[in-house]
Amino acid sequence: MALHGGTRRSPVGPKLVMAYLLVIFLSLLGPGAQSQTVQPTKIEGKLVYKDAHVRKIWSLVTMSTGVVYTLPSQPIDASLGSAIPAGSTVSLNCIAAASQPTNCTATTAARITTSAAPVPTTDLKIKLLVMVLSLTGTCTKTGATVTSVQTAYTSPTGYANFLRNCSYGKVVYDTVTVVATPVACSSTILNNCNEDAMATAAKASVTAQRGASFLNSFTHFSYVLPNGMVNTCGWVGLAELPGTQTWYTPDQDGIFDKGTVMQENIHNLNIYHGWKAGVEYNDYSTSMGMGQSCPSAPELWRLGWATVLDLLNSNNFPANAFKTYTLPATSASSMGNMIKLQTDWMPSYTKNVYLALRTIGGGDQDLKAEFDRKVNIHELNKDIDNNFMARGDPRVTIIGTVAASSSMDLPAYKLFIRTGVLLESGTKIVVKVCRYTASSSACQDAAQASPPPPSPPPPTVVKKSPPPPPPVKKSPPPPPPPPPPSPPPPSSPNKSPPPPPNKFKKSPPPPPPPTPPPPAPPPPASKKSPPPPPPGTRKSPPPPPKRKSSPPPPPDAPPPIEEAPPPDYSSPPSGGGDAPPPYDAPPQSWA
C-alpha cells in the first residue's frame, strides 16, 4: 500500500488516474457542453480542502444552507493576489453549467471575508459519529459490521486509546457512536465516488432514523464506504484538512488500519503528510506517512502535544562546541522530549531540524524496529514551522536516525550529532550537538574548549581592623656583675713609676672578693613575657581582643555569601505540565 496527498491511497492509483481522465474527456464531448454555461452566481461559505491523490478537492460549503459547491482549484484572492487558505470564509462568483449548478467550472472575484481561525488541537474532546454505509434501491452494496467498527475504536488497544496516548491526553474521544446507515443508490456515489454526496445522504438517513438533535450532538463525522468501491475512489482514507469529516474504505487498509484512521484524524487538525527523500508518504516513523505509530517530533510540536527541551539558533549555540543533553523518549514524556534547531547560521536558512528519541511503548507500541531506541532526525520548511498561523505543507521529512553510542554528520546544516548510552531502561539518551564552521573535527566538549577568561572576583567588604594590642613591656635585664678586682702589682726592688692618672677616683685597697649579689627579683606575673621562640620560628601575633559580635572575616577572605533559597519545583514550568504516564487504564464506556 502506498500513500499520497490528504489520503492513504489504494495501490491501484495509476489505473484510477486513467479512468478519471477518461471520465473528464467524455464529459467534455457531451452535447451542448459549452451552451450549458450560465451566468456567475455569487456564493459565500467556508473553504474546504481534501487531497484525494488522483485530484485535489477544493469546495465551498455555504454557511446558511450547507450546500457544497465544488471548485476547480484553490481560489486566489483578487485583491491580494495570493492563494486563499483552507478554513477561510470566502465570497466568490461561481460559473457553472445549468445541469450542475453546484459544480463550479471557474471562479472570479474571490476574496476573504473572514480569515481562517486557528485549529484547536489541545483540550479537545471529540464526539464522534461513525456511519457505516450500505447502498439500497437499484443497486445493493453491503458494508462493514457495526460491531467490528465499534470494537476497532473502543477495545483496550483500539483507536481511542491510540489517540489518547499519542496526544498525551490532550485530544480524546468523549463519545464514539457507530450506526448502520443505508442510503439510496445513486450514480454520483456508485460511479463518481463523490464523498460530499455520500456525507449528505448519510446525514439525511441518520436524521430520518434518529432525529436532527441526535445528529447535532456530535462534533465529528466519519463515513465507512460500502464494499467494493476502492477501485472507483482510488483511496482508502480521506479527510478534510482542516475540518471535522473523514471517509474510509471498509477493509484492512481503511477503517481497520490504525495508521489510516490516525492519519485522517490528524488531517482534521491541519497536519500534512510525512516525507522521505522527496517522496510523500514515505516516512514510516509516523502515521502521517506509512507508519502505525504516533506523529513525529515536528508534528507533535505543531499540534501542541509536546514541548522542546531546547531551541537552538546562532544566538545561543556557539560554533565548534558540543552542547550536551539527556533527552527523554517521546513515548515516555511530553515535556522537553525534542531538540529544535533553527539553522540560521547557514548562508541560506530555509529549514529547521528536530531531534527526538523514539522507543517502543505507549502510543508507539507498533513503532518499526528501524526507528526504535534511536534519535530520529527530521527537517521541514522553517517559514511554516516558525509561524503557527502559517498554512500549507511544511514537508516534514525524515533524514536519518542515530543509534546509541554513535554519531552522524549533517554537512547540509554543518551539524554533528553524537549519542551516548541509553539510560533508565532505554527511556532516555545522552545527546551531544555541535554546529561547526569548517569540519566536524573542530567540535569539542566544553572541558576541552579554551576556557573563558575568569570572572572578576566579587568586591570585598573592607572592614576596619581593630587596633593592635599594646606591646607587652619586657622586664629590665639584671644589672651586670661588678668587674673583678685588679691584681696587685708585682713586687719589685725598684720602685715602679706611678701609674697614669685615672679619671676615676682611686679605689681603696681591694677588700677580699665580694660575695656575688643575689639575682634580681622576678617581674610581676602580669607582665611576664613568654619565652622567646626558637631560632627560625615566626612569632605568632597576639590574638585580637574579644568582640561581643561575631568576629569579622580575615582581611583577605571574600565576603560571606548569602545562600539562595532552594528552587520551587511545586509547579511545572510554563508550557504545560508533564505528560501523564502511558495510558494503561481500561477505556471508558462508550455510547
Residue 26 lies in a domain: no
Residues 421, 326 share a domain? yes
The helix (run of H) or strand (run of E) holding residue 210 is helix 195-210
Residues 154, 109 share a domain? no
Q: How far from 199 is each of 118, 129, 390, CA to CA, in Å?
A: 25, 12, 29
Buried b (16+ CB within 10 A) or exposed e, 62-90: eeeeeebbbbeeebebeeeeeebbbbbbb
Q: How many CB atoms lie within 10 A of CB 368?
A: 15
Residue 44 lies in a domain: yes
CATH number at residue 177: 3.40.390
Q: What is the pLDDT of residue 572?
A: 37
Domain termination residue (choose one: 94, 114, 134): 114
Domain termination residue (choose one: 398, 424, 442): 442
Q: Name every residue whose Cβ is closer than 8 Å to that of residue 387 and which is 6 or more positions away in sequence.
A: none
Q: Name every residue whose Cβ is closer than 8 Å to that of residue 465 and which is 6 or more positions away in sequence.
A: 555
CA 288 to CA 362: how far, in whole Å?
Answer: 17
Pairing of strands 407-410, 415-423: antiparallel
Q: Name every residue whose Cβ is closer than 8 Å to that of residue 427 and which is 6 or more positions away in sequence.
A: 328, 329, 331, 332, 359, 361
Q: Which residues pair with 45 in a beta bridge?
A: 62, 90
Residues 386, 362 share a domain? yes
Residue 588 lies in a domain: no
> Considering its fold, how many domains does the chain have in total?
3
Q: Which letter does DSSP use for residue 222 in this model? A: E
Residue 34 lies in a domain: no
Residues 164, 72 share a domain? no
Q: What is the pLDDT of residue 566?
A: 41
Question: pLDDT tens string for the chain (591 positions)?
Answer: 334 345 554 444 444 344 444 444 444 444 444 445 567 899 999 999 997 766 789 999 998 888 999 999 999 999 889 899 999 999 999 999 888 899 999 999 999 999 888 899 999 999 999 999 999 998 899 999 999 999 999 999 999 999 999 999 999 999 999 999 999 999 899 999 999 999 999 999 999 999 999 999 999 999 999 999 999 999 999 999 999 999 999 999 999 999 999 999 999 999 999 999 999 999 999 999 999 999 999 999 999 999 999 999 999 999 999 999 999 999 999 999 999 999 999 999 999 999 999 999 999 999 999 999 999 999 999 999 999 888 899 999 999 999 999 999 999 999 999 999 999 999 999 999 999 999 999 999 876 544 555 555 555 544 444 555 555 444 455 555 555 555 544 444 344 444 444 433 334 444 455 455 555 544 444 433 444 444 443 444 444 444 433 444 444 444 443 443 444 433 333 333 344 444 444 444 454
Kindly report the backbone phi and psi dihedral angles of residue 516, in degrees, each rounded to the nearest multiple of 5, phi listed first: -55, 140
User: Going edge to edge, which strands form the sheet with 323-328?
Assistant: 323-328, 428-435, 415-423, 407-410
Residues 324, 195 share a domain? no
Q: What is the pLDDT of residue 556?
A: 45
Domain span including residue 90: 39-114
Q: Is 274 exposed, middle or buried (0-12, 13-18, 19+ CB in 10 A)?
A: buried
Q: What is the pLDDT of residue 56?
A: 86
Cell of 126: 471529540
Residues 146, 79 share a domain? no
Residues 108, 140 share a domain? no
152, 381, 131: which is closest to 255 by C-alpha? 152
Residue 520 lies in a domain: no
Query: What is the DSSP annotation of 470-534?
Result: PPPPPPPPPPPPPPPPPPPPPP-SSPPPPPPP-SSPPPPSP-SPPPPPPPPPPPPGGGPPPPPPP
Residue 140 lies in a domain: yes
Query: What is the DSSP annotation of 314-358?
Result: TTT--BTB-EEEEEEBTTT-SSS--EEEE-TTSSS--EEEEEEEE
Q: What is the pLDDT of residue 94?
A: 94
Residues 168, 128 share a domain? yes
Q: How far from 269 is each of 121, 256, 265, 549, CA to CA, in Å?
A: 6, 21, 7, 69
Residue 355 lies in a domain: yes
Domain termination residue (choose one: 402, 418, 442): 442
CATH number at residue 419: 2.60.98
Residues 139, 103 share a domain? no
CA 131 to CA 198: how far, in whole Å?
Answer: 10
Residues 93, 135 share a domain? no
Residues 200, 91 share a domain? no
Strands (E), 359-413: 374-381, 396-403, 407-410
Residue 80 lies in a domain: yes
335, 325, 329: which is closest to 304 by C-alpha? 335
Q: How many CB atoms lie within 10 A of CB 397?
A: 23
Residues 101, 156 share a domain? no
